[in-house]
């Protein structure tokens, strides 16, 4: 684990409360059911861009779970968090407040505060190699050039996190990739986006429900 990603000493033990800054969203002692962390990767300074589509999925997920008004800032992990119930399981939704290439610091800090392993942390992020509307959920794997995922792998010291990849398409010319990724969705893409976010939320919730019913080792 790199020194920039190592949490400072004196972390809360598993099961303790998250930051008191989460006034309306303070975690109670760990419930009987399973707990999952779902992180939407992105750049908080560039909301609405293709690179921040993971955060858009988290927004849709929060609306589906009835916690869209419950986001609260946690300064310890530099992120906005919202808590939601999914059957007997508890979901902790996380939107980092750090830049994309440092998202992993927020994710790893929250995971340690919650006492979660890498296998219990979902990453939601954009994927250049898939067209808009294409989704893929995979358990583990490499970063495949994604700086936010690379940061999470480094800070969690693991490749085991499940990832939901949301296609944003790749421009035909390599020189246009950066502008494409950091740009906003076109008007025609914005028409396609709402059902994509709905399907992404469905895929995540179905997958988490299934894993919550059985032992983690069986995933």
Active site residues: 51
The residues pairing with 82 across neighbouring beta strands, listed in sequence order, are 93
- Report how far residue 116's alpha carbon sits from residue 27's, in angstroms, rounded to the nearest whole number: 14
Contact 22/81 with Cβ under 8 angstroms? yes
- Report how far residue 51's alpha carbon sits from residue 42's, in angstroms, rounded to the nearest whole number: 6
Helix (H) or strand (E) holding 57: helix 53-64
Kindly give the pairing relationship between strand 135-139 and strand 162-167.
Answer: antiparallel
Closest among 191, 61, 184, 210 to 126, alpha carbons compared: 184
- Report how far residue 42's alpha carbon sits from residue 96's, in angstroms, rounded to the nearest whole number: 7
């Amino acid at each position: 684990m790199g020194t920039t990603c190592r949490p400072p000493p004196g972390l809360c033990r598993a099961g303790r409360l998250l930051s008191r800054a989460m006034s309306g969203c303070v975690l109670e002692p760990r419930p009987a059911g399973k707990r999952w962390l779902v992180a939407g990767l992105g750049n908080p300074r560039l909301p609405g861009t293709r690179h921040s589509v993971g955060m858009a999925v988290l927004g849709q997920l929060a609306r589906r779970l009835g916690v869209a008004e419950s986001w609260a800032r946690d300064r310890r992990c530099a992120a906005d968090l919202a808590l939601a119930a999914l059957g007997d399981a508890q979901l902790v939704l996380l939107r980092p407040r750090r830049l994309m290439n440092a998202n992993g610091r927020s994710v790893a800090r929250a995971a340690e505060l919650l006492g979660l392993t890498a296998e219990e942390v979902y990453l939601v992020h954009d994927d250049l190699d898939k067209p808009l509307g294409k989704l893929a959920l995979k358990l583990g794997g490499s970063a495949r050039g994604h700086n936010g995922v690379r940061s999470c792998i480094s800070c969690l010291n693991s490749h085991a996190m499940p990832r939901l990849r949301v296609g944003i398409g790749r421009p035909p010319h390599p020189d246009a990739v950066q502008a494409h990724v950091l740009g906003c969705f076109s008007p025609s893409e914005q028409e396609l986006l709402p059902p994509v976010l709905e399907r992404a939320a469905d895929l995540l919730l179905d997958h988490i429900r299934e894993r919550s019913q059985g032992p983690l080792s069986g995933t």
